[in-house]
Amino acid sequence: MFSSWKELEQAIINCKKCLLHKTRKNAVPGEGSKNAKLMFIGEAPGAVEDETGRPFVGAAGKLLTETIEKFGLKRAEVYITNVIKCRPPSNRDPREEEIESCSPYLESQILLIKPSVIVALGRFAATWLLTRMGYHCQGIMKCRGKVYRGTLLGIEVNVIPTIHPAAALYNPRLRPLFESDLKLAIEKIISKEEKTITKISKSKTRSLLDFISSSSRKDQN
Ligand code: URA
Protein backbone atom coordinates (compact mmCIF):
# COMPACT_ATOMS: atom_id res chain seq x y z
CA MET A 1 0.00 0.00 0.00
CA PHE A 2 1.28 3.49 -0.86
CA SER A 3 1.06 6.36 1.57
CA SER A 4 2.16 9.16 -0.76
CA TRP A 5 0.85 10.21 -4.16
CA LYS A 6 4.34 10.75 -5.54
CA GLU A 7 5.44 7.24 -4.68
CA LEU A 8 2.18 5.74 -6.00
CA GLU A 9 2.19 7.59 -9.34
CA GLN A 10 5.88 6.75 -9.94
CA ALA A 11 5.19 3.09 -9.20
CA ILE A 12 2.32 3.03 -11.73
CA ILE A 13 4.33 4.82 -14.42
CA ASN A 14 7.26 2.39 -14.05
CA CYS A 15 5.17 -0.74 -13.36
CA LYS A 16 6.21 -4.03 -14.99
CA LYS A 17 4.10 -6.38 -12.87
CA CYS A 18 2.13 -7.75 -15.83
CA LEU A 19 2.70 -8.19 -19.56
CA LEU A 20 0.74 -5.05 -20.48
CA HIS A 21 3.88 -2.99 -19.84
CA LYS A 22 5.34 -4.46 -23.03
CA THR A 23 2.60 -3.11 -25.29
CA ARG A 24 1.65 0.16 -23.56
CA LYS A 25 2.94 3.57 -24.64
CA ASN A 26 2.07 5.19 -21.34
CA ALA A 27 0.61 3.93 -18.09
CA VAL A 28 -2.40 6.01 -17.01
CA PRO A 29 -2.48 6.54 -13.23
CA GLY A 30 -5.55 8.81 -13.05
CA GLU A 31 -6.23 12.52 -12.65
CA GLY A 32 -8.34 15.08 -10.85
CA SER A 33 -8.76 16.40 -7.34
CA LYS A 34 -6.98 14.43 -4.64
CA ASN A 35 -9.56 15.81 -2.18
CA ALA A 36 -12.48 14.71 -4.34
CA LYS A 37 -15.71 13.61 -2.69
CA LEU A 38 -16.66 11.87 -5.94
CA MET A 39 -14.49 9.33 -7.74
CA PHE A 40 -15.08 7.66 -11.13
CA ILE A 41 -13.54 4.28 -11.89
CA GLY A 42 -13.50 2.92 -15.45
CA GLU A 43 -12.16 -0.27 -16.96
CA ALA A 44 -8.82 0.33 -18.69
CA PRO A 45 -7.17 3.02 -20.83
CA GLY A 46 -8.03 3.08 -24.54
CA ALA A 47 -5.92 4.25 -27.46
CA VAL A 48 -6.08 8.02 -26.77
CA GLU A 49 -5.45 7.46 -23.07
CA ASP A 50 -2.43 5.26 -23.89
CA GLU A 51 -1.04 8.02 -26.17
CA THR A 52 -1.54 10.81 -23.64
CA GLY A 53 -1.18 9.12 -20.23
CA ARG A 54 -4.54 10.65 -19.18
CA PRO A 55 -7.79 8.80 -18.32
CA PHE A 56 -11.02 9.24 -20.28
CA VAL A 57 -9.84 11.75 -22.87
CA GLY A 58 -11.18 9.99 -26.00
CA ALA A 59 -14.78 9.94 -27.27
CA ALA A 60 -16.15 8.11 -24.19
CA GLY A 61 -14.22 10.56 -21.99
CA LYS A 62 -15.84 13.51 -23.76
CA LEU A 63 -19.29 12.12 -22.90
CA LEU A 64 -18.19 11.51 -19.30
CA THR A 65 -16.81 15.06 -18.93
CA GLU A 66 -19.88 16.68 -20.54
CA THR A 67 -22.23 14.71 -18.30
CA ILE A 68 -20.29 15.59 -15.11
CA GLU A 69 -20.46 19.27 -16.10
CA LYS A 70 -24.13 19.09 -17.10
CA PHE A 71 -25.03 18.20 -13.50
CA GLY A 72 -23.00 20.93 -11.86
CA LEU A 73 -19.46 19.72 -11.14
CA LYS A 74 -16.21 20.42 -12.99
CA ARG A 75 -14.05 17.54 -14.24
CA ALA A 76 -11.19 18.93 -12.13
CA GLU A 77 -13.32 18.60 -8.97
CA VAL A 78 -13.63 14.80 -9.22
CA TYR A 79 -11.00 12.05 -9.46
CA ILE A 80 -11.00 9.75 -12.50
CA THR A 81 -9.11 6.48 -12.85
CA ASN A 82 -9.44 2.88 -14.05
CA VAL A 83 -9.29 -0.62 -12.60
CA ILE A 84 -6.18 -1.33 -14.66
CA LYS A 85 -3.69 1.35 -15.57
CA CYS A 86 -2.34 0.08 -18.92
CA ARG A 87 -4.15 -0.42 -22.23
CA PRO A 88 -4.90 -4.03 -23.17
CA PRO A 89 -3.93 -4.71 -26.83
CA SER A 90 -6.83 -3.94 -29.23
CA ASN A 91 -8.89 -2.88 -26.21
CA ARG A 92 -9.61 -6.48 -25.22
CA ASP A 93 -11.15 -7.13 -21.78
CA PRO A 94 -8.72 -6.98 -18.84
CA ARG A 95 -7.58 -10.43 -17.65
CA GLU A 96 -7.94 -11.70 -14.10
CA GLU A 97 -4.14 -11.67 -13.49
CA GLU A 98 -3.86 -8.09 -14.83
CA ILE A 99 -6.64 -6.92 -12.51
CA GLU A 100 -5.00 -8.70 -9.58
CA SER A 101 -1.54 -7.22 -10.10
CA CYS A 102 -2.96 -3.71 -10.65
CA SER A 103 -5.39 -3.74 -7.70
CA PRO A 104 -2.99 -2.39 -5.03
CA TYR A 105 -2.77 0.86 -7.05
CA LEU A 106 -6.54 1.38 -7.08
CA GLU A 107 -6.78 0.39 -3.41
CA SER A 108 -4.16 3.00 -2.52
CA GLN A 109 -5.93 5.66 -4.61
CA ILE A 110 -9.22 5.00 -2.80
CA LEU A 111 -7.53 5.08 0.62
CA LEU A 112 -5.67 8.32 -0.15
CA ILE A 113 -8.77 10.10 -1.50
CA LYS A 114 -11.43 8.62 0.83
CA PRO A 115 -14.31 9.61 -1.48
CA SER A 116 -17.86 9.52 -0.17
CA VAL A 117 -19.33 8.42 -3.53
CA ILE A 118 -17.71 6.20 -6.17
CA VAL A 119 -19.25 5.75 -9.61
CA ALA A 120 -18.33 2.41 -11.19
CA LEU A 121 -18.22 2.87 -14.96
CA GLY A 122 -19.09 -0.51 -16.44
CA ARG A 123 -19.07 -4.10 -15.27
CA PHE A 124 -15.34 -4.47 -14.48
CA ALA A 125 -15.33 -1.53 -12.05
CA ALA A 126 -18.73 -2.56 -10.61
CA THR A 127 -17.52 -6.12 -9.96
CA TRP A 128 -14.20 -4.94 -8.48
CA LEU A 129 -15.95 -2.60 -6.03
CA LEU A 130 -19.09 -4.56 -5.12
CA THR A 131 -17.20 -7.81 -4.50
CA ARG A 132 -14.92 -6.04 -2.02
CA MET A 133 -17.99 -4.65 -0.23
CA GLY A 134 -19.65 -8.06 0.03
CA TYR A 135 -22.23 -7.51 -2.71
CA HIS A 136 -22.74 -9.45 -5.89
CA CYS A 137 -23.19 -7.69 -9.25
CA GLN A 138 -25.38 -9.88 -11.48
CA GLY A 139 -24.72 -7.89 -14.63
CA ILE A 140 -24.42 -4.14 -15.00
CA MET A 141 -28.03 -3.63 -16.16
CA LYS A 142 -29.26 -5.22 -12.92
CA CYS A 143 -27.04 -3.29 -10.53
CA ARG A 144 -26.82 0.12 -12.26
CA GLY A 145 -28.54 3.17 -10.83
CA LYS A 146 -28.62 1.82 -7.27
CA VAL A 147 -26.72 3.11 -4.27
CA TYR A 148 -24.66 0.40 -2.55
CA ARG A 149 -23.72 1.66 0.88
CA GLY A 150 -21.05 -0.11 2.85
CA THR A 151 -17.45 -0.49 3.93
CA LEU A 152 -14.74 -0.62 1.30
CA LEU A 153 -11.14 -1.13 2.50
CA GLY A 154 -12.28 0.08 5.92
CA ILE A 155 -13.93 3.29 4.75
CA GLU A 156 -17.65 4.13 4.48
CA VAL A 157 -18.67 4.71 0.87
CA ASN A 158 -21.64 4.82 -1.46
CA VAL A 159 -21.00 2.99 -4.72
CA ILE A 160 -23.22 3.72 -7.73
CA PRO A 161 -22.61 1.42 -10.70
CA THR A 162 -23.53 2.63 -14.18
CA ILE A 163 -23.14 1.71 -17.83
CA HIS A 164 -19.71 2.32 -19.33
CA PRO A 165 -19.73 5.69 -21.18
CA ALA A 166 -18.53 3.95 -24.38
CA ALA A 167 -21.72 1.85 -24.32
CA ALA A 168 -23.83 4.96 -23.68
CA LEU A 169 -22.07 6.67 -26.58
CA TYR A 170 -22.75 3.93 -29.12
CA ASN A 171 -26.22 2.95 -27.92
CA PRO A 172 -28.39 6.09 -27.67
CA ARG A 173 -31.07 4.17 -25.73
CA LEU A 174 -28.57 3.75 -22.86
CA ARG A 175 -27.65 7.44 -22.74
CA PRO A 176 -30.58 8.55 -20.48
CA LEU A 177 -29.72 5.76 -18.00
CA PHE A 178 -26.07 6.83 -17.90
CA GLU A 179 -27.14 10.46 -17.38
CA SER A 180 -29.62 9.68 -14.61
CA ASP A 181 -27.02 7.56 -12.74
CA LEU A 182 -24.47 10.39 -12.87
CA LYS A 183 -27.16 12.89 -11.80
CA LEU A 184 -27.93 10.67 -8.78
CA ALA A 185 -24.23 10.53 -7.80
CA ILE A 186 -23.61 14.27 -8.27
CA GLU A 187 -26.79 15.28 -6.42
CA LYS A 188 -25.68 13.12 -3.49
CA ILE A 189 -22.40 15.05 -3.31
CA ILE A 190 -24.00 18.46 -3.74
CA SER A 191 -26.68 17.79 -1.10
CA LYS A 192 -23.98 16.54 1.34
CA GLU A 193 -22.02 19.77 0.77
CA GLU A 194 -25.12 21.90 1.30
CA LYS A 195 -25.83 20.09 4.59
CA THR A 196 -22.24 20.76 5.75
CA ILE A 197 -22.55 24.47 4.86
CA THR A 198 -25.88 24.72 6.72
CA LYS A 199 -24.33 23.02 9.78
CA ILE A 200 -21.35 25.41 9.76
CA SER A 201 -23.51 28.49 9.31
CA LYS A 202 -25.90 27.34 12.08
CA SER A 203 -22.99 26.87 14.48
CA LYS A 204 -21.64 30.33 13.49
CA THR A 205 -25.08 31.90 14.11
CA ARG A 206 -25.24 30.15 17.48
CA SER A 207 -21.83 31.45 18.56
CA LEU A 208 -22.84 34.97 17.49
CA LEU A 209 -26.05 34.66 19.54
CA ASP A 210 -24.03 33.32 22.51
CA PHE A 211 -21.70 36.32 22.18
CA ILE A 212 -24.60 38.83 22.09
CA SER A 213 -26.40 37.24 25.05
CA SER A 214 -23.21 36.99 27.13
CA SER A 215 -22.36 40.67 26.38
CA SER A 216 -25.88 41.76 27.34
CA ARG A 217 -25.54 39.77 30.58
CA LYS A 218 -22.26 41.55 31.27
CA ASP A 219 -23.96 44.95 30.62
CA GLN A 220 -26.66 44.12 33.15
CA ASN A 221 -24.09 43.25 35.86
N1 URA B 1 -12.44 3.54 -21.22
C2 URA B 1 -12.08 3.30 -19.94
O3 URA B 1 -12.60 2.40 -19.28
N4 URA B 1 -11.15 4.08 -19.41
C5 URA B 1 -10.56 5.09 -20.06
O6 URA B 1 -9.72 5.77 -19.48
C7 URA B 1 -10.97 5.32 -21.39
C8 URA B 1 -11.90 4.53 -21.95
User: What's the pLDDT at 196?
Assistant: 76
pLDDT of 4 > 70? The answer is: yes
pLDDT in tens, 11-65: 999 999 999 999 999 999 999 999 999 999 999 999 999 999 999 999 999 999 9
Residues with CB under 6 Å of ligand 1 are 42-46, 49, 55-56, 58, 60-61, 82, 166
Lowest mean pLDDT among 57-61, 69-73, 94-98, 206-210: 206-210
Give the distance (Å) from ligand 1 centre to CA of residue 202: 42
Give the distance (Å) from ligand 1 centre to CA of residue 192: 28
The pTM of this model reads: 0.90
Tell the burial category of 110 from Cβ atoms under 10 Å away from its Cβ (0-12, 13-18, 19+).
Answer: buried
pLDDT in tens, 149-202: 999 999 999 999 999 999 999 999 999 999 999 999 999 998 877 777 777 777
